[in-house]
């Protein structure tokens, strides 16, 4: 009798368990995470699901997508998942993957403080941090999966989801029950800031006007990119909405964020469709519900998911990749199986007015005046991104500095990577940047010609650091343009007089260092300058002393544009010319303008420099008007007998004219003589 009772009890328990699993198996995985009451996460049912979630997580920290985690697993399936732990294929943030599992574990931990849930959550945070590109964006899969998956992915709100996770982690809010260690929170904040910058840089300009975003942007050029055949590069009404809501959530938004939001809202207003609504009509003898767009003057606003980059015209595509003007023109499979319209921007418009009022209220007090008042010493300012100085950003320190000061303003920049575009304005004279160390005090940004998109002169807007203020001095810094080999991308733009860099590194590709201004004189000592094409260019008079000039491609190191009446252009003394191993056919220089002047004295020239040394750049007048010369150089690349016939090898008497006094002191006011002897 006892045995019969036990069997009955077991049968009942198994039946109940099967019934419970049946209930949650009928739900979608995201709805289980988002719709269940907090108390449910303390149940045995939830614990069983949590075991599945832990099993599906890969060692790298992320999860695959489109998994119904609540479905029961057989012993064989569990063993298979254990064997897959080290596998990194198909780990992604697409379709909510990874971010939603992290939320589930947080809700579990709030009810059941199992350390495994906490560790798995923090592994997820680490995965998101590792997956980020240097430019601030995220791919769809990490490790990278070949194809369009490597693009920066806003599609299906992938990057917006990641950014929202990192924001909560960085600010240690109560949204997640699991709090990250301080070091991880700090990394999350940096990653979030980089992500915001990426979003700002990818906002599409249509005829010079900021609009919205595309579902994918190229991970190198940041330009709009295609995905699947029916997902062509276009402005997206759906993905853009979540990005704007994210920008609106930023505390103390920068002017750039405010402009981005205002521009996107204006675009949403311009592109909303007010006379269409979607209807679902059953197809006879089928379970399919046909999708039909119906004209309705009283319909709620909709936005197309795909709009032309040139004029915002909605379009639709089938798997053949051919654009159609209406939804009815594409095949039923894509018509019914894809979201072509969205109402998500309505949430942006709903919140916009209150956001705008709040921002306007926050920006009433002039921040610059407040900053000046709080400075302990207005002539010795400290920048520390960790918050242990007067300012966290370099630009804030510049903006708080006196215009045309009576004495030099020294800005000490503590170690850190300052991801910002920095400008020393014309009125910011007598400014010094003193880095804590050359290796670890880094200013970096990644603008380039195609991204700036301001016409034929876009190059000159791309600089990471721009100097318009005279008598600028800098030492112990590294300045980078990290946009990569994407064309013109300036690292430093010097358009001022008596500018000196000491013990600094300039990293970039094409057009790394631009020195501008007829009559301006600059001095670079003990510096490292790298690039690909014309990576030192401009019309200023510049002395490079004890510098390393490093070529990264078979191209031209310099492109001077010296004016005819200026006696000295680029002068390199005691410098070393090196190159990447693959570089074998580089030139010392070519003329950007016909009277270019470039001279190398006592330099060690690597074998990557071609025997002819110089290029005329298809300018017939170069041989007559340019002045290219060398004096007592050394190295495998120094081949004076094989140089182009119109270049020069200086005599001793001629070389004497290339003293630092002659190059940098001539035509300098008496009060600023010997300006190049400055050390801070």
Query: Residue 8: which pLDDT band, with cuts at 50, 70 and 90?
Result: very low
Q: Identify the H or E element spanning 109.
A: helix 99-111
Give the helix ranges, DSSP H, for 112-220.
Answer: 115-131, 158-171, 182-202
* Percent of the chain's residues with pLDDT above 90: 83
Task: Decide if pLDDT at 618 tops 90.
Answer: no
Q: Determine the pLDDT at residue 41.
A: 96
- At residue 26, does pLDDT exceed 80? no
pLDDT digits (tens, 9 = 90+) for 409-421: 999 999 999 999 9
- Cα(438)–Cα(433) distance, rounded to whole angstroms? 12
Q: Is 378 exposed, middle or buried (0-12, 13-18, 19+ CB in 10 A)?
A: middle
Contact by Cβ (8 Å): 247, 260:
yes
Give all domains of the chain, ordered by start, each with its CATH number. Answer: 24-202 (1.50.10.20), 226-364 (1.50.10.20), 415-677 (2.160.20.10)
Q: What is the DSSP letter of 180?
A: P
| Residue 468 CB contacts under 8 Å (≥ 6 apart), including other chains | 423, 424, 425, 426, 428, 495, 496
**Does residue 389 register a pLDDT over 70?**
yes
Sequence-separated (6 or more) residues with CB below 8 Å from residue 370: none
Q: What is the DSSP string of 368-392?
A: HHHHHHH-S-TTEEEE-TTS-SSBS
pLDDT in tens, 199-237: 999 999 998 899 999 999 999 999 999 999 999 999 999
The tokens describing 497, both together, are: 């007089």
86 has pLDDT over 80: yes
Question: Catalytic residue numbers?
Answer: 511, 534
Count of residues for the chain?
680
Q: How far apart are CA 412 and CA 381, in angstroms?
A: 6
Answer for the pair 99, 158: CB distance below 8 angstroms, yes or no.
no
pLDDT tier, 376 (very low <50, low <70, confident <90, very high otherwise): low
3-state secondary structure of 241: helix
The pLDDT assigned to 283 comes to: 79
Band of the pLDDT at 362, cuts 50, 70, 90?
A: low
**Closest to 378 in 3D by CA, of 357, 353, 356, 403:** 403
Q: Give CA 201 to chain center in angstroms.
A: 7
Which residues are CB-contacts of 8 (< 8 A; sequence separation ≥ 6)? none
What residues have CB less than 8 Å from 577, skipping those under 6 apart? 549, 550, 551, 557, 588, 603, 604, 605, 606, 608, 609, 635, 637
Looking at the DSSP assignment, which residues form a beta bridge with residue 302?
Answer: 273
More confident residue, 393 or 386: 393
Confidence of residue 367 (pLDDT cuts 50, 70, 90): very low
Assess whether pLDDT exceeds 90 at residue 111.
yes
CA distance 503 to 558: 20
pLDDT digits (tens, 9 = 90+) for 138-197: 999 999 999 999 999 999 999 999 999 999 999 999 999 999 999 999 999 999 999 999
What pLDDT sits at residue 4? 46
H helices, E strands: number in the chain: 18, 34
Whether the per-residue pLDDT at 452 is higher than 90: the answer is no
Distance (Å, rounded) from C-alpha 192 to C-alpha 122?
Answer: 16
pLDDT interval class at 671 (50, 70, 90):
low
The label of the residue with tokens 């204006």 reads: 266
Both structure tokens of 667: 């035509």
- The tens digit of pLDDT for each residue in 501-528 reads 999 999 999 999 999 998 899 999 999 9
pLDDT at 579 over 60: yes
- Considering only CA atoms, which of 277, 264, 273, 276 is closest in space to residue 351? 264
CB contact at 8 A, 131 and 145: no
Q: Which two tokens stand for residue 543?
A: 């002395």
Work out the mean pLDDT of the chain and round it to a whole number.
Answer: 91
CA distance 64 to 198: 25
Residue 116 CA: distances (Å) to CA of 123, 177, 178: 10, 14, 11
- d(C-alpha 308, C-alpha 243), whole Å: 19
pLDDT band for 680, please (50, 70, 90 cuts). confident
Burial status of residue 351 (CB atoms within 10 A of its CB: 0-12, 13-18, 19 or more): middle
**What does the angle CA 574 – CA 578 – CA 579 come to, to the nearest 5 degrees?**
160
C-alpha torsion sign, points 457, 513, 398, 221: positive
Q: Does the pLDDT of residue 339 top 70, yes or no?
A: yes
Chain position carrying tokens 């739900």: 27
By the 10 Å C-beta count (0-12 exposed, 13-18 middle, 19+ buried), 206 is classed as middle
Distance CA 418, CA 124 (A): 26
User: How far is C-alpha 467 from the geometric centre of its chain's CA atoms?
Assistant: 22
Cα distance between residue 623 and residue 645, in whole Å? 8
Question: What pLDDT is attached to residue 5?
Answer: 45
* For residues 473-499, average pLDDT: 96
Distance, in Å, from the CA atom of 637 to the CA atom of 629, rounded to the nearest integer, reads 14
């Amino acid at each position: 009798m006892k045995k019969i009772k036990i069997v009955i009890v077991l049968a009942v328990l198994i039946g109940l368990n099967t019934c419970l699993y049946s209930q949650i198996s009928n739900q979608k995985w995201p709805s289980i995470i988002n719709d269940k009451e907090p108390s449910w996460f303390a149940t045995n049912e939830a614990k069983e699901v949590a075991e599945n979630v832990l099993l599906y997580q890969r060692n790298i920290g992320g999860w695959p997508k489109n998994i119904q985690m609540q479905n029961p697993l057989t012993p064989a399936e569990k063993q298979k998942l254990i064997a897959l732990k080290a596998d990194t294929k198909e780990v992604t943030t697409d379709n909510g993957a990874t971010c939603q599992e992290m939320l589930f574990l947080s809700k579990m931990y709030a009810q059941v403080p199992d350390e495994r849930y906490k560790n798995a959550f923090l592994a997820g945070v680490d995965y998101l941090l590792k997956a980020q590109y240097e430019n601030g964006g995220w791919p769809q899969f990490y490790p990278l999966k070949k194809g369009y998956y490597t693009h920066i992915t806003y599609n299906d709100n992938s990057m917006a989801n990641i950014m929202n996770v990192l924001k909560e982690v960085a600010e240690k809010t109560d949204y997640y029950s699991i709090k990250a260690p301080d070091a991880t929170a700090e990394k999350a904040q940096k990653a979030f800031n980089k992500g915001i910058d990426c979003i700002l840089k990818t906002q599409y300009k249509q005829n010079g006007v900021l609009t919205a975003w595309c579902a994918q942007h190229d991970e190198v050029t940041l330009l709009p990119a295609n995905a699947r055949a029916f997902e062509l590069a276009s402005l997206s009404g759906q993905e853009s909405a979540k990005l704007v809501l994210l920008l609106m959530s930023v505390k103390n938004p920068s002017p750039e964020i405010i402009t981005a939001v205002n521009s996107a809202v204006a675009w949403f207003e311009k592109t909303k469709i007010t006379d269409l609504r979607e209807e679902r009509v059953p197809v006879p003898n089928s379970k399919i519900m046909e999708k039909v767009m119906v004209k309705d003057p009283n319909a709620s606003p909709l936005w197309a998911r795909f709009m032309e980059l040139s004029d915002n015209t909605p379009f639709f595509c089938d798997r053949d990749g051919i654009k159609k003007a209406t939804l009815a023109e594409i095949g039923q499979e894509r018509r019914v199986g894809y979201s072509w319209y969205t109402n998500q921007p309505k949430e942006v418009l709903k919140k916009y007015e209150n956001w705008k009022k709040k921002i306007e209220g926050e920006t009433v007090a002039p921040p610059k005046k407040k900053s000046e008042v709080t400075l302990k010493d207005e002539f010795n300012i400290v920048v520390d991104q960790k918050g242990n100085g007067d300012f966290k950003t370099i630009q804030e320190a510049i903006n708080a500095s006196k215009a045309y000061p009576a004495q030099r303003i020294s800005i000490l920049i503590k170690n850190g990577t300052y991801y910002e575009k920095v400008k020393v304005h014309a009125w910011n004279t007598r400014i010094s940047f003193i880095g804590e160390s050359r290796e670890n005090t880094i200013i970096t940004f990644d603008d380039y010609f195609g991204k700036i998109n301001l016409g034929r002169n876009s190059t000159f807007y791309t600089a990471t650091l721009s100097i318009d203020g005279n008598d600028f001095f800098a030492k112990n810094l590294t300045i980078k343009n990290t946009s990569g080999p994407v064309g013109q991308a300036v690292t430093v733009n010097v358009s001022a007089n008596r500018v000196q860099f000491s013990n600094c590194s300039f990293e970039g590709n094409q057009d790394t260092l631009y020195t501008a201004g007829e009559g301006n004189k600059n001095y670079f000592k003990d510096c490292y300058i790298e690039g690909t094409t014309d990576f030192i260019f401009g019309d200023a008079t510049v002395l490079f002393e004890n510098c390393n000039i490093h070529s990264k491609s078979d191209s031209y190191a310099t492109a001077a544009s010296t004016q005819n009446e200026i006696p000295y252009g680029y002068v390199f003394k005691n410098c070393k010319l090196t190159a990447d191993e693959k570089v074998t056919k580089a030139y010392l220089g070519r003329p950007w303008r016909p009277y270019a002047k470039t001279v190398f004295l006592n330099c060690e020239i690597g074998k990557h420099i071609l025997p002819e040394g110089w290029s005329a750049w298809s300018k017939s007048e170069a041989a007559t008007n340019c002045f290219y010369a060398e004096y007592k150089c050394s190295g495998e690349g120094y081949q004076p007998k094989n140089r182009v016939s119109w270049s020069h090898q200086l005599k001793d008497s001629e070389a004497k004219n290339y003293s630092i006094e002659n190059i940098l002191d001539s035509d300098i006011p008496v009060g600023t003589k010997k300006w190049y002897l400055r050390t801070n």
